[in-house]
Chains A and B, each alone.
Chain A
Amino acid sequence: MGMTMTQKILASHAGLEKVEAGQLIRTKLDLVLGNDITSSVAIREFEKAGFRAVFDTEKIAMVMDHFVPNKDIKAAEQCKSCRTFARNQAIHHYFDVGEMGVEHALLPEKGLVAPGELIIGADSHTCTYGALGAFSTGVGSTDMAAGMATGEGWFKVPTALHFHLNGALRKDVSGKDVILHIIGLIGVDGALYKSMEFGGAGLKSLSIDDRLTMANMAIEAGAKNGIFEVDEITLAYVNERVNRPYEIYKADPDAVYEKTYEIDLSAISPTVACPHLPENTKDAEELNDVKIDQAVIGSCTNGRLSDMAIAAAILKGKHVAEDVRCIVIPATQKIYKECIQLGYAEIFIDAGCIVSTPTCGPCLGGYMGILAAEEVAVATTNRNFLGRMGHISSKVYLASPAVAAASAVKGFICTPDQL
């Protein structure tokens, strides 16, 4: 019986020839990640447990991104505890204001993620790095503390769902629409405890940014990880950024999947997830009666340069609708600078948007765009749970940058074609 891509990476990091679904294993970790919210808890647990030093100062990444630049005194204290720990422990990959970005956009950009690596992060969207053929999964702060101390983690080997992608994306359709479509198909617990493995000829039509968006939201289907076959598009991206050796894993031809889904990319339309679960998907065109108060374009899901380019192309020469606030957040300093250099920032500002320094802020209802009672937002973020972005009677519709930008112009949910 063959192994899936995920199982092969887990086996190699456990020092085992073979693993089977359901097996409990202990593996070596290539990178342990945390943000300002989760690291501060992990540090407290690390110190309380009496650990003195981290296992490897090069294999820990701490990114101050959730409530940063500090939203209040309490957030400032949390960041301060991370900063002090990082300095005392000589943690190399510590990213603070001026260098930081939204963590899951930042790490791939910095070359901290390579195919075949095993990464845990105290942030549920750590599954993003599967786009590059790595095994990466979200954990809690205690797992992060244990990982920082020992360089090891425990896992139950997952079964897998296979998504066989065919065809090519249509105009104004991106990775966001594909993953929303898939979550709508299998539900928010459709991949619970499982891997989502993506392959097939359709990969050719998906850029790295599309894949990062899709792997990012694997958790919204309950998955342990999402992972893409490595191809020339992956290698072109990785080889520009990664200077260390890495290994490419392929699923065995007789790998066992619980189920295989055939996905025709050319059949997917601009898709929106309605409140209050990411599985409540509809075609954007059907939602023209949903008036919006706010549009958010950014986040670890859709704050990359190609997302900014899509939004800028739509907003160029136009203006956001009256009474709509449009918040654009390039996900990293590099992307922010490129938005300035390429003229996107000017387009956004002329269109009446604000352009913010990188932060997770509004996505989780932290700050920088909280919703009042009954307000409605269309957002390129990843969750639309009750109260996620503000008041419990507010509503969040999840969409692609194209739909969010077009909706900001019209004042209701629509596609770029409807402009």
Chain B
Amino acid sequence: MEVKGKAIQYGDHIDTDVIIPARYLNISDPKELASHCMEDIDAAFIHKVRPGDIMVGGLNFGCGSSREHAPVVIKEAGISCVIAKTFARIFFRNAINIGLAILECPAASDGIEEGDQIEVNFDTGVIRNKTKNETYQAQPFPPFIKAIIAEGGLLKAINKE
């Protein structure tokens, strides 16, 4: 599976409170929630994001609260993949469980700049930067996790069993 889009870049320790502030957690509708995605650190995000775009973070992306609303709003906003140096572990689980593709790749996180055109192949873990004509290698998912994503999330995978 392959996705492509432009890079939208953030720094280290992007926490779930800035991805979706707690004051909106009384909202259940994912679309309405997504309209507040990243607003405390980047009010322009929701206006500049286009379907397929790729979010790039630094260290410890998604740290903080366990709110699943965080990967949900990123996915709902149209982001096809998040690339970071490292992910906080609950965010990592949640992203897999709800079917948001994520890849750990320090070289891509360092090499990619805001606006670069990026292509990602999840089967091989190859990240291609079309703007800079660079490629970066991420570790592809282990089969266990691939199976969850292939089924469309954890609950569908369990149901199939």
Contacts and interface: CB of A to CB of B under 8 A. Distances in A.
A320 B112 CA distance: 51
Nearest to A391: B40
Contacts of A38: 66-68
Interface in A319-344: none
B65 A141 contact: no
A189 B13 contact: yes
A104 interface: no
A142 interface: yes
B59 interface: yes
A115 interface: no
A24 B153 CA distance: 17
Contacts of A37: 25-26, 67
Given A124-B66, A138-B66, A366-B23, A146 B89 contact: no
Contact of A142 (B26, B28, B98, B159): B98
B40 A140 contact: no
A277 B17 CA distance: 12
- The bracket for how many chain B residues form the interface is 35 or more
Nearest to A279: B13
A383 interface: yes
A385 B65 CA distance: 11
A150 B158 contact: yes
A392 B17 CA distance: 11
Given A143-B97, A143-B154, A224-B89, A387 B66 contact: no
Given A140-B93, A189-B13, A193-B89, A386 B18 contact: yes
B65 A124 contact: yes
Interface string B25-68: 11110000000000011000000000000000001100111111
Contact of B26 (A67, A124, A146, A385): A67
B88 interface: yes
B93 A72 contact: no
Interface residues of A, number: 53
B21 interface: yes
A364 interface: yes
Contacts of A365: 17, 21-23
B82 to A, nearest CB: 15
A96 B65 CA distance: 22
A192 interface: yes
B6 interface: no
A398 interface: no
Contact of A78 (B26, B68, B86, B144): B26
B107 interface: no
A40 B68 CA distance: 11
A123 B66 contact: yes
A10 to B, nearest CB: 15
Nearest to B145: A24
Interface of B: 13, 15, 17-18, 21-23, 25-28, 40-41, 59-60, 63-69, 71, 86, 88-90, 93-94, 97-98, 142, 144, 153-156, 158-159
24 contacts: A41-B28, A41-B69, A46-B155, A48-B155, A71-B26, A122-B68, A124-B66, A140-B66, A140-B67, A140-B90, A141-B68, A142-B98, A143-B94, A143-B97, A188-B60, A192-B60, A222-B60, A277-B13, A365-B21, A365-B23, A385-B18, A385-B64, A386-B17, A388-B22
